[in-house]
Amino acid sequence: MDLRNLRALDVRQYADSRFATGCSAHSVKGEVSILRRVLNSLVENGALERNPVPRIMASVAESARAHPDPNRAESREAWTPEEAWCLLEFAKRHEPQWYPILMFYFQTGARLGEGLALRWDSVDLFGRNIHIRRAVAAGEEGEPKWGKQRHVPISDDLLGVLKWLARKRRLSEPWKSPELVFLSCPFSEFDRVLQHCALGCSALKNPQGALAVGMSAINTDVRHADCVPTACPNGHATAA
């Protein structure tokens, strides 16, 4: 098909056909998202005068509503503080290399790609805030979703973990370093790690439902210092 002739109806019909074969909404959105990036790239390079389907994901959302998944996990709005504490404790014991980045997600509500792209020069340990300005999506680093940069505060617990990481990496002035903050945390392993921790956490009565929520929809009470563990993976206290 000539992409110049692509219409919202074409996208809707494609999504309908994929849902009819049993594909999940996550998979269909991922597939159409690739097409969206291709269209935007063609516009930027001058190959297309304009994006023929500017609201392409809306067509997918309409199709998803028309094809509800009967096996979808129970709806949830957020993780509870007890669930987050339990998962972090489990990760500290069984997935210690992932403990710092999981703490980061629970404490900030950042998106997955934003944590994977976080660099030390965006972390202000003295002012206690993090500048979210990059994100990883489809294996490429770029701006955060919708291009929205922002600052998020650093809690006491997260501050301890970040200082511990800086000492471990021997960074005397980490805010000057362009290195990634969270190493040894490949995107391809994240689902496995999160599922392992969720299934191993006795506080989660509905692990699959919790996983469906994602890391960015977390009860704000979780970000209080008394709701999360305060030890680093090696068991040392996180106090500065």
For 177, residues 6+ apart whose C-beta sits below 8 A from its C-beta are 119, 120, 121, 171
Picking from 105, 119, 108, the residue whose alpha carbon sits closest to that of residue 183 is: 119
User: What span, in angstroms and rounded, lies between the C-alpha atoms of 101 and 86?
Assistant: 15
CA–chain centroid gap for 145, Å, is 11
CB 222 within 8 A of CB 84: yes
Structure tokens at 216: 């960015």
Residues 99 and 143 in one domain: yes
Residues 197 and 85 in one domain: yes
38: three-class secondary structure by DSSP: helix
Residue 224 pLDDT greater than 50, yes or no: no
Please, is 143 exposed, middle or buried when counting C-beta atoms within 10 Å of its C-beta (0-12, 13-18, 19+)? middle
> Is there a domain that residue 17 lies in?
yes
For 234, residues 6+ apart whose C-beta sits below 8 A from its C-beta are 96
| pLDDT tens digits, one per residue of 100-113 | 998 998 888 888 88
> Is there a domain that residue 73 lies in?
no
* Out of 2-16, 52-66, 124-138, least confident range: 52-66
* Out of 73-77, 108-112, 185-189, least confident range: 73-77
Residues 115 and 44 in one domain: no
Residues 53 and 90 in one domain: no
> Is there a domain that residue 152 lies in?
yes
* Residue 129: band (very low, low, confident or very high) from pLDDT cuts 50, 70, 90: very high
Structure tokens at 64: 């998803």
Residues 29 and 90 in one domain: no
Most confident among 85-89, 103-107, 112-116, 124-128 (mean pLDDT): 124-128
Structure tokens at 59: 């067509």
Cβ neighbours of 237 (radius 10 Å): 10
CB 59 within 8 A of CB 15: yes
Quote the crossing angle between the two packed helices 81-94 and 99-108, to the nearest 10°. 160
Number of domains the chain contains: 2
Picking from 71, 73, 53, 75, the residue whose alpha carbon sits closest to that of residue 6 is: 53
> Is there a domain that residue 39 lies in?
yes
pTM across the whole model: 0.59
Could you list the residue range(s) of the whole structural domain that residue 25 is in? 3-66
Residues 58 and 168 in one domain: no
* Out of 1-5, 34-38, 102-106, 156-160, least confident range: 1-5
User: What span, in angstroms and rounded, lies between the C-alpha atoms of 164 and 162?
Assistant: 5
Backbone angles phi, psi at 111, to 5 degrees: -75, 160
Cβ neighbours of 164 (radius 10 Å): 20
Cβ neighbours of 11 (radius 10 Å): 23
CATH (domain of 104): 1.10.443
Mean local confidence (pLDDT), 171-187? 88
Residues 91 and 152 in one domain: yes
Structure tokens at 37: 């990036």
